A = this chain, B = another copy of it.
């Protein structure tokens, strides 16, 4: 960390803190939802925000994110996909002072959501669409963070197998397709989708059983495969969308 030779100062001054904020997505009822909380403390008390909190002394960033995730959702360890999204550090983004927030993106299947031992008042799932169209304003710069997280998730679906992280195992091809449809916000052709998924080695692994639905033919069940990346990618822009 080289410093400028103009000796302004050796350390940043005043109140400085590092926090993590979480964009936790899941798909329920065919819609993409995000976990939001009602803030119990100032500032923005009573308003809606992303879950998060300060990084503790001696705690790694990833560990802080995983801890907050556990505190907010009761989900332990590695059952959720968790990745760093972006760092937000504009001065003035938090009235308490200079707070640098490292945002994380978490993806998981429909969660039990025990509003576990946190004081974060009510945590609840909210459709992402209701934030995008301005019905649900968010505190701080959290709407920007959410939009960045959404764009990351949409992009990741094209190039990686994380869509399977949204699915409770075992799952059907239709379950997986509904993830894409919910996150991308557009219907896909079931037949073409299945072909691309099946042809990608290691995306899903058949377990040899079927699930009886309420109505319709039983569907084969799968588990997540070992592959992490999709080559070729599953493009949202060019085609693949359903016509019916």
Contacts and interface: CB of A to CB of B under 8 A. Distances in A.
Interface of A: 1-5, 8-9, 11-19, 21, 37, 39-41, 49, 51-61, 71-72, 84, 86-91, 94, 98-102, 117-120, 140, 231-233, 235, 237-238
Contact of A86 (B1, B19, B52, B84): B84
Nearest to A231: B237
**Chain A interface helix/strand/loop/mixed:** loop
B3 A53 contact: yes
A145 to B, nearest CB: 12
A235 B159 CA distance: 11
Contact of A2 (B5, B9, B16, B49): B49
Nearest to A155: B159
Contacts of A55: 12, 89
A3 B71 CA distance: 10
Contacts of A39: 2
A238 B235 CA distance: 16
Nearest to A38: B2
A229 to B, nearest CB: 9
Most buried by B among A59, A87, A140, A238: A87
Given A1-B54, A100-B100, A119-B4, A91 B17 contact: no
Contacts of A40: 2
A60 B90 CA distance: 5
Q: List 7 tightest A-B contacts by C-beta distance, closest first.
A: A5-B119, A2-B120, A61-B89, A87-B87, A58-B91, A87-B102, A231-B237
A7 to B, nearest CB: 10
A1 B94 contact: yes
B1 A19 contact: yes
A105 to B, nearest CB: 13
Contacts of A57: 9, 12-14, 98
Contact of A16 (B16, B91, B101): B16
